[in-house]
Chain A
Amino acid sequence: MSAVKALPRWADLFLLPVVCLGVALLAAGAVVALVGQHPVEVISVLVHGAFGTARGLSYTLYYATTFVFTGLAVAVAFHGGLFNIGGEGQAVLGGLGSGLAALWFSAFLPAWVMLPLMAIAGALFGMAWAVVPGFLQAYRGSHVVITTIMFNFIASTLLVYVLVNHLRPSGAMSVESLPFAESAKLPGMHEAFAWLGIEWPSSPLNVSVLIAALACVGVYLFLWRSRAGYRLRAVGSSPGAAHYAGIRPQRQILVAMGVSGALAGLVGMNEIAGVHGKLLLEFVSGAGFTGIAVALMGRNHPVGIVLSSILFGALFQGGAEVAFEVKGFSRDMVVMLQGFIVLFSGAMVYAIAPLVARALSGVTGWMPRGNVQAGAGGSHG
Chain B
Amino acid sequence: MMGTAASAAIAVRMTGISKRFGAVAANADVSLTVPAGTVHGLVGENGAGKSTLMSVLYGFYQADSGAIEVFGVPATIRNADDAIALGIGMVHQHFMLVDTLTALENVMLGAEPHWLLSQSDAQVRAKLETLMASTGLHVELDTLVCDLPVGDRQRLEILKTLYRGARILILDEPTAVLTPQETEQLFGVLRLLREQGTTILLITHKLKEVMRLCDQVTVMRGGRVVEELPIANASIEGLAEAMVGRKVQMGRLEEACRSVGDYLLQAKHVTVRDAMNVLRLDDVNLSLRGGEIVGVAGVSGNGQSELLDVLSGMLAPTEGSLTMGDTSFGAGAWMDPHAARTLGVAHVPEDRHARAMVMDFEAWESAVLGYDGLPQYASGGWMNHTAMKQATATMMERFDVRPQNPALRSRSFSGGNQQKLVLARELGQAPKVLLVGQPTRGVDIGAIEFIYSQLRAMRDAGCAVLVVSSELDEILALSNRVVVMNQGRIAGELPIEECTEASLGLLMVGGGA
Contact = CB atoms under 8 A, between A and B. Distances in A.
B358 A237 contact: yes
B355 interface: yes
A134 B365 CA distance: 26
A368 B337 contact: no
Contact of A378 (B19, B22, B48, B176): B48
A240 B360 contact: no
Contact of A227 (B22, B44, B47, B382): B382
B223 interface: yes
A230 B365 contact: yes
Interface string B239-273: 00000000000000000000000000000000000
A173 to B, nearest CB: 51
Interface in A281-296: none
A241 B441 contact: no
Interface string A5-22: 010000000000000000
Interface stretch (B125-133, B322-330, B369-377): B369-377
A233 B336 contact: no
Contact of A375 (B52, B349, B351): B52
A66 to B, nearest CB: 30
Contact of A379 (B203, B312, B339, B359): B203
Contacts of A226: 381-383
B248 to A, nearest CB: 16
B372 A377 contact: no
Contacts of B372: 227, 230-231, 245
A238 interface: yes
Contacts of B355: 238, 240-241, 243-244
B93 A378 contact: no
B26 A372 contact: yes
A226 B370 CA distance: 15
A230 B360 CA distance: 12
Contacts of B26: 372, 375-376
Range, interface on chain A: 35 or more
Contacts of B373: 227
Interface string A350-381: 00000000000100011111011101111111
A379 B90 CA distance: 13
B265 to A, nearest CB: 18
A375 B64 CA distance: 13
Interface in B357-406: 357-361, 365, 369-370, 372-373, 378, 381-383, 385
B313 A246 contact: yes
A368 B22 contact: yes
Contacts of A172: none
- Give the interface centre of A233, A243, A367, A376 by most chain B CB atoms within 10 Å: A376
Contacts of A6: 412
A376 B52 CA distance: 6
B50 A241 contact: no
Contact of B21 (A233, A365, A372): A372
A225 B385 contact: yes
A234 interface: yes
B347 to A, nearest CB: 7
A369 B22 CA distance: 8
Nearest to B24: A372
Given A237-B361, A368-B22, A378-B48, A244 B356 contact: yes
B205 interface: yes
B24 A243 contact: no
B338 interface: yes
B51 A378 contact: yes
Given A230-B365, A379-B203, A241 B358 contact: yes
A82 to B, nearest CB: 16
Contacts of A240: 351, 354-355
A379 B19 CA distance: 17
A326 interface: no
B206 interface: yes
Given A230-B372, A366-B22, A238 B360 contact: yes
A379 B53 CA distance: 11
Given A1-B60, A227-B383, A237-B359, A375 B415 contact: no
Contacts of A238: 354-355, 357-360
Contacts of B49: 376, 378
Interface string B171-215: 011001000000000000000000000000001111000000000
Contacts of A366: 22
A367 B22 contact: yes
Contact of A244 (B365, B369, B415): B369
A4 B37 CA distance: 40
A226 B442 CA distance: 34
Contacts of A373: 412
Interface in B34-63: 44-52, 55, 60-61
A6 B172 CA distance: 26
B45 A378 contact: yes
Nearest to A9: B409
Interface of A: 1, 6, 225-228, 230-231, 233-234, 237-238, 240-246, 248, 361, 365-369, 371-373, 375-381
Interface of B: 19, 21-24, 26, 44-52, 55, 60-61, 93, 172-173, 176, 203-206, 223, 312-314, 336-341, 347, 349, 351, 354-361, 365, 369-370, 372-373, 378, 381-383, 385, 412, 415, 441-442
Given A227-B382, A243-B355, A369-B412, 5 more contacts: A238-B359, A244-B369, A366-B22, A368-B21, A378-B44
10 contacts: A6-B412, A227-B372, A242-B358, A243-B314, A246-B336, A367-B23, A378-B44, A380-B173, A380-B442, A381-B93
The 10 closest A-B pairs by CB, nearest first: A367-B22, A246-B338, A246-B337, A378-B46, A245-B370, A376-B26, A380-B442, A240-B354, A372-B21, A244-B355
